[in-house]
Structure 1
Amino acid sequence: MSTTEFALPDVGEGLADAEIVTWLVDEGGPLVYMEPMVEVETAKSVVEIPSPVTGTMVRHGAQEGESINVGATLAVLSDDTPGPDSDAKQVAAPTPLQSESQARPAVSLVRRVPAAPTVRRRAAQLEISLEEITGTGPGGRVLNSDLDAAVTATANATTRQPEETLGDHVEKLSRMRSTIGATLSDAWAQVPLITDLREVDAVALVSARALLREELESRVTFTTLFASVIVSALRRYPDFNASLDLSANTITYHSAINLGIAVEVPHGLTVGVVRDAGTLSMRELGDQIADVATAAREGRLEPERSSGATITISSFGKFGGWYGTPLVVPPQVAIAGFGPIKDKVVPFEGAPAIRATLPLSISADHRLIDGSELSKFSSHVERMIADPIRMLGT
């Protein structure tokens, strides 16, 4: 039997630390090889870390709610694998843990909806999928109360009574919300923002979507069409597909279009990345956008799909907004926001007419992009939306 200091592994997101959400095994409790022993939250997701040994949890390296650096002792474990005793040693995953008689494979990190084992068992008994529930616990953790709410909603058995006023309460910001706040505060402080707002005729775009769905036999979304419009516009205006680094006094004009897709996730917003979007067909682009969005919502975006965007799009129409002022996050220099397509009475060919109308909001970094260039870029996007056949031909 040996005792091992197990170090917090790098979860593959390039982050320096993580916060302990829940210990799934108490001190003195039994460990089972590759069974989850702790949940940690990074700025991007909640991750379950499995035990690298079968044995006993000797000591927790940090308490729930505390942060711990990558490489620091996460837990002290007792390995019950038969063999001579040895002094405590420190091992960092994913290096395989070795005992005197057995070599174990590298520890893998499992991303799934965070929930305690008892909650998982109860959900299975109730035949409720945890993926379909928005957890109200820390880091989106599903609680027993969330299962109760799901059962009530499904059965529609009771009418919710007005909640009593409980007074003020204080909550600690999640790591995701803290990271979002810091990132956007820096963006707001650094970037002199200019935004072009306009309403665009979307009648032809709506028709094109219906035709493409039939032709491609695929679910072509408006987000896919918006992405195609931006890719087309960047071919004409490559200055918007750039990175600005004032510390080095340089501008990098990117040959590849790495398209950031803003995705709503529980308790925050994240950006997934579709790489080399300019080389993809309409079907491929739509498939990759869907894959990235699903991975983001499930908290399993790999580093290559969560960083490196050269321009971002945000489709916020389903939330009921109209215009927006999207913030440019350095080193990117532009972001495009698309609102909901709605019928409006507008002037058309000299008379009032009801037309499908799309609100368009494009922001740029004024340090690199002049107002005249932003207007030209936005006008090109407007023409592509009003005449999507032109876009499909480019």
Structure 2
Amino acid sequence: MAQVLEFKLPDLGEGLTEAEIVRWLVNVGDVVAIDQPVVEVETAKAMVEVPCPYGGVVTARFGEEGTELPVGAPLLTVAVGAAGTVPAGAPAPSPGAEQAAETAVSSEYSGNVLVGYGTAGPAARRRRIRPQSPAVAHPTPTAAAGPTPTARTAAPAAPAAPTAPAAPAAGPEGPVPVISPLVRKLARDRGLDLREVRGSGPEGLILRADVDRALAARETLVATPGAAPGVAPGATAVVAAVEPVPSAVPTAARASATAPAGERIPLRGLRGAVADKLSRSRTEIPDATCWVDADATELMAARAAMNAAGGPKISLLALLARICAHALARFPELNSTVDTAAREIVRLPGVHLGFAAQTPRGLVVPVVRDAGTRTAESLTEEFARLTESARQGTLTPADLTGGTFTLNNYGVFGVDGSTPIINHPEAAMLGVGRIIPKPWVHQGELAVRQVVQLSLTFDHRVCDGGTAGGFLRYVADCVEQPAVLLRTV
């Protein structure tokens, strides 16, 4: 007999609590092997493929592409055992067969086995809804399963014979066709009965947009006296029973109703994580910025000489990283973090250098481990590897965490200067503008030199302007005279 196992969104580490489904890699009816990737999800750290620990036939998927799920939410169910031997390419199991396989499971197994499906209990509410023939129709929930949201919030009525609350005429019988825990939570928090919502998703599934439309329609009914044309006289009473009508429409609701229409882009996933970190940086860190122009002609000449000598090419970013590492050794205050709870400055022993990388999915900051002990050649290779992984969306959470100082080469965007926002919880960030020919006084004479603007944004809690200025001046001296670094070789 087949056993239906439920695979939940696993803990992806690094304190991540949710992930967005980007792309399903399997369909219902597909045969999957143990540890085969079944879905591609995007977290606040990276985009990863999630493997399934079971082998068998996929009987249900939970969540459409673009749905955000919390850790521990169901991803899919797999029928293992006899059903798992179905050859690849076999047709998907029929709704009746799927229900029979699900109902056959009557106990939990390590927290991942579906409880036998009836019409009550969390497992029943999680199952995927398919069009059903009369032979496999679900019974109507009884009063023992708990009162409906409308019955719980209804205003006192005139005495009448006690009867079980009837479901709305237009609502479907059996479990509500919704699979997203976020949609259920939204409806529950707003007091919306999902049986009154008609789903626009595949097979009648209720999506977030359906709930938003239902809530907007309810607000309109609440704000408008009487029933709208085409609405049964009792419809307004049902809405009022779910949520009491306030004496006046809240100001926020009126403002939302009159707000100009426009495209709304959710701040979630990677973009949301970046927004949260930047906001936290601005809120918690009293930052200050200083900048200086430097003559980078000698640095560019030194790089050209290195690359002309043969061997792997050395990138300019790698040379700047070497300079930063040596500068941080001289000014360790900037390679630190602030423990606000203990009111202590924590100076960090190693330099793990983050660098800003622009990708099609947004800005990310990969981290080069132990940058202070690497050669220019090793740094070039690691920068190239992390940059390519960032563009492909394959960075791991470990690649994006643990940085102690960030190098931001915004010159690649064709700009000269910037006041970067510190990458929380670090203490400083060095910005590098574009390197362009400019008039410059060199050895007492006006000449055309390769000039770059360097800017340092630092946490004023860890050091004062003298330390920050000394760090930036040392970096500028190394850019102008790379031979300065020979003293530390």
Please indicate the TM-score interval, normalised by the length of the shorter structure.
0.7 to 0.9
Q: 2:361 maps to what in 1? A: 267
Alpha carbons 2:354, 2:365 under 8 Å: kept = yes
Aligned match for 1:283, one of 368, 372, 377? 377
Alpha carbons 1:5, 1:73 under 8 Å: kept = yes
Alpha carbons 1:3, 1:88 under 8 Å: kept = no
Matches within 5 A, 1:210-289: 210-215=304-309, 217-289=311-383
Give the TM-score taking structure 1 as reference length: 0.75
1:209 shift after superposition:
0.4
Alpha carbons 2:307, 2:313 under 8 Å: kept = yes
Q: 2:395 maps to what in 1? A: 301
Amino acid of the structure 2 residue aligned with 1:255: P
Aligned match for 1:364, one of 438, 458, 463? 458
SS of residue paired to 2:84: coil
* Residue 338 (structure 2) pairs with residue 335 (structure 1): no
In 1, the alpha carbon distance for the partners of 2:18 and 2:317 equals: 34
Q: 2:275 maps to what in 1? A: 181
Pick the structure with more strand per residue. 1
1:66 shift after superposition:
2.6
Q: 2:32 maps to what in 1? A: 32
* Residue 3 (structure 2) pairs with residue 2 (structure 1): yes
Alpha carbons 1:5, 1:90 under 8 Å: kept = no
1:271 shift after superposition:
1.1
In 2, the alpha carbon distance for the partners of 1:322 and 1:168 equals: 33
SS of residue paired to 1:223: helix
- 1:83-118 Cα shifts (integer Å, max 9, x gaps): x9754646689xxxxxxxxxxxxxxxxxxxxxxxxx
Amino acid of the structure 2 residue aligned with 1:61: F
Alpha carbons 1:216, 1:283 under 8 Å: kept = no
SS of residue paired to 1:251: strand
**C-alpha distance 295-90 of structure 1, shift in aligned 2 (>3 A):** farther
Alpha carbons 1:341, 1:357 under 8 Å: kept = yes
Amino acid of the structure 1 residue aligned with 2:32: V
Q: 1:15 maps to what in 2? A: 16
SS of residue paired to 2:263: coil
1:20 shift after superposition:
1.8
SS of residue paired to 1:294: helix
**C-alpha distance 393-329 of structure 1, shift in aligned 2 (>3 A):** same
**C-alpha distance 230-193 of structure 1, shift in aligned 2 (>3 A):** same
Q: 1:48 maps to what in 2? A: 49
1:22 shift after superposition:
3.2
In 2, the alpha carbon distance for the partners of 1:184 and 1:390 equals: 35
Alpha carbons 1:4, 1:88 under 8 Å: kept = no
- 1:108-162 Cα shifts (integer Å, max 9, x gaps): xxxxxxxxxxxxxxxxxxxxxxxxxxxxxxxxxxxxxxxxxxxxxxxxxxxxxxx
Amino acid of the structure 2 residue aligned with 1:324: S
Aligned match for 1:205, one of 279, 299, 303? 299
In 2, the alpha carbon distance for the partners of 1:24 and 1:286 equals: 34
Pick the structure with more helix per residue. 2
CA RMSD after TM alignment: 2.5
In 2, the alpha carbon distance for the partners of 1:261 and 1:225 equals: 13
In 2, the alpha carbon distance for the partners of 1:187 and 1:332 equals: 9
**C-alpha distance 53-246 of structure 1, shift in aligned 2 (>3 A):** closer
Alpha carbons 1:14, 1:303 under 8 Å: kept = no
- 1:304-358 Cα shifts (integer Å, max 9, x gaps): 3211111110111111111011111232111101111110012233332100001
Between the two proteins, what is the percent identity of the paired residues?
34
Alpha carbons 1:4, 1:91 under 8 Å: kept = no
Q: 2:62 maps to what in 1? A: 61
Matches within 5 A, 1:117-136: none
**C-alpha distance 209-263 of structure 1, shift in aligned 2 (>3 A):** same
**C-alpha distance 12-298 of structure 1, shift in aligned 2 (>3 A):** farther
In 1, the alpha carbon distance for the partners of 2:326 and 2:307 equals: 20
Give the TM-score taking structure 2 as reference length: 0.61
**C-alpha distance 92-302 of structure 1, shift in aligned 2 (>3 A):** farther
Could you tell which deviates more after superposition, 331-340 or 283-292?
A: 283-292
Structure 1, unpaired ranges of 5+: 94-166
Alpha carbons 1:245, 1:331 under 8 Å: kept = no
SS of residue paired to 2:306: helix
Alpha carbons 1:12, 1:302 under 8 Å: kept = no
**C-alpha distance 392-287 of structure 1, shift in aligned 2 (>3 A):** farther
In 1, the alpha carbon distance for the partners of 2:393 and 2:51 equals: 17
**C-alpha distance 392-71 of structure 1, shift in aligned 2 (>3 A):** farther
Alpha carbons 2:31, 2:84 under 8 Å: kept = no
Amino acid of the structure 2 residue aligned with 1:257: V
Amino acid of the structure 1 residue aligned with 2:407: I
1:360 shift after superposition:
0.5
**C-alpha distance 92-234 of structure 1, shift in aligned 2 (>3 A):** farther
SS of residue paired to 1:230: helix
Alpha carbons 2:55, 2:78 under 8 Å: kept = no
Structure 2, unpaired ranges of 5+: 86-100, 113-260
Q: 1:347 maps to what in 2? A: 441
SS of residue paired to 1:81: helix
Flag the structure with more relative contact order, 1 or 2, with Cα contacts below 8 A and sequence separation at least 6: 1
SS of residue paired to 2:356: strand
Alpha carbons 2:7, 2:52 under 8 Å: kept = no
In 2, the alpha carbon distance for the partners of 1:90 and 1:62 equals: 23
Alpha carbons 1:3, 1:89 under 8 Å: kept = no
SS of residue paired to 1:22: strand
